[in-house]
Amino acid sequence: MKLIIRFIFLVSFVSYSQVGGESVYNFLNVPTSARQAALGGKVITLLDDVNQPLWNPSAINLNIDNQLSVNYLNFLTDISYTSVTFAHMINRNFGTLHGGITYANFGEFIEADENGVETGTFKAYDMALSLGYAYQIPFSNISLGATAKVVNSVIQDYSSFGVVADFGVLYENDHQPYVFSLAVRNVGYQITTFDGTQEKVPLEILFGASYRLENVPIRWYLTVDNLQKWNVAEPNPSNSVTDIDGTITPEKISFFDNTMRHMVIGAEFFPEGGFNIRMGYNFRRAKELQLTDIRTFAGFSAGFGLKMNKLKLNYAFTKYHPAENTSTFSLQIDLSGRR
């Protein structure tokens, strides 16, 4: 019985695990906001989005004061994610606090014994609560941020509890068109385990940059992810070559191929307008989810944003596989008195 539950747990995460599925709590690395998903899923330089501190706490600033966002992601195989984020400025001396909750619902599963006899059903879910704060160094354009997260994962009668933290540093100058940031995500520890086996948390180090063109209403985004493990590429058995003697030669991963798998790019058209169009491309996702002789468009994402007074609706479409697409919806509400 325990083996069946563990198997289901591993299968649930295989499609979006980080660096080969070597860790627990991988739901923390799934983009749950539409703007993030549309731009490729790894952007860390958004300065006016209340969802951004879930990925980079140094992005907490006065621009997201009293902003509330509710997000829903219809993920693969009917897995769903819901997240809520909110920011509030305590005062101008202290700054702004950011809070968030993420809930991943993996649905209902059939429970069976070792003989395959059904004995009922059970549910599985993950949840994380976060609280973050950022501090701008006086007389500089550099902000430092940190977020603490309490994580709980439940599968049938098994559960795991952990604590993780995110750290970030961000450079932004109002008079310059570019933003740079470095984020270290999911530094922490699994306090209680599912079955006594200690698992690692999904540590990830990212570098991000964005650039606003001067005469064209476009902002470009570039993220280099998984800097903590440079060799992320694994040979795909489907790409192996068999010669006439039956000798199998596995796929060779070049330095350039591995380097590109760290890259995520995105573009936002009319970024400061009432209507935005967004596109993104995740090179690693595209490479690992490609099918032989079939164009899947895996790795591609797109979306739009529509602002209506105090409300902003964002939508993202993400391509993973010819049989599975995902849609992300975000509703951002301005609760401040600003117009």
One pLDDT digit (tens) per residue for the chain, 339 residues: 333 333 333 334 333 334 445 689 999 999 999 999 999 999 999 999 999 999 999 999 999 999 999 999 998 877 999 999 999 999 888 899 999 999 999 988 888 888 888 888 888 999 999 999 999 999 999 999 999 999 999 988 889 999 999 999 999 998 999 999 999 999 999 999 988 888 999 999 999 999 999 889 999 999 999 999 999 988 777 777 777 777 787 878 889 999 999 999 999 999 989 999 999 999 999 888 887 777 778 899 999 999 998 999 999 999 887 777 899 999 999 998 655
User: How many Cβ atoms are within 10 Å of 188's Cβ, its own excluded?
Assistant: 21
User: Which run of H or E residues covers position 314?
Assistant: strand 311-321
Using alpha carbons, select from 127, 39, 26, 142 the residue that is nearest to residue 82: 127
Alpha helices in 57-103 (DSSP H): none
Question: What is the distance between the alpha carbons of residues 37 and 226, in angstroms, rounded to a whole number?
Answer: 18
At residue 2, φ and ψ (nearest 5 deg) are -65, -40
CA pair distance 312, 92, nearest whole angstrom = 26
Spell out the CATH class of 2-334: mainly beta
E-strand ranges in 37-174 read 67-74, 80-91, 95-112, 118-136, 142-155, 158-172
Where do the domains of the chain lie?
2-334
How far is the CA of 262 from the CAs of 88, 259, 305, in angstroms? 34, 6, 27
- pLDDT at residue number 11: 39
**Token output for 174:** 């109002």
Residue 236: CB partners within 8 Å, gap ≥ 6? 251, 288
